[in-house]
Amino acid sequence: MRDYANDKVKKVCAPYEAEISEVDVHLSVHNKEHGQHGKPGQGVAITLYTIRHGTLRVEDEEQTIYAAIDLSTDKLKKQLQKMKEKALTAGTWPHARGGTQ
């Protein structure tokens, strides 16, 4: 399960590797057996720290941990794309002036 999450996050982050300083992935299980309230589910929280563009955070909770990982990485991919588009517009993305990225 941990390897699955790490592989998915690495795949999403690979094109932006030069701009990422750290990624934290937290997996959690919520159920009433452990004294937690609310509906049972399994969650993922991903926090990504960039060098120049701040912090990105995504969370998701689903019935299976794999579904939560998949949806969280999809959200993270969208946020990374949006971050790059903004940085390209502002001219702060590496190789923005005539680069091939």
Residue boundaries of the structural domains of the chain: 2-90
Rounded to whole angstroms, how far apart are CA atoms 28 and 9?
Answer: 16
Q: Is the pLDDT of residue 100 over 50?
A: no
**Alpha helices (runs of H) in 1-100, residue ranges in sequence order:** 2-13, 65-90
Both tokens of 24, joined, read 């934290």
Question: Does the predicted TM-score (pTM) go above 0.75?
Answer: yes
Q: Write down the residue that tokens 């903004």 correspond to.
A: 86
Could you tell me the CA-to-CA distances from 92 to 1, 34, 85, 101 in Å, in that order?
36, 47, 10, 13
Digit-coded pLDDT (tens) for 34-92:
555 667 789 999 999 998 888 999 999 999 999 999 999 999 999 999 999 998 888 87
Record: fold of 2-90: Double Stranded RNA Binding Domain (3.30.160)
Of 24 and 30, more confident: 24
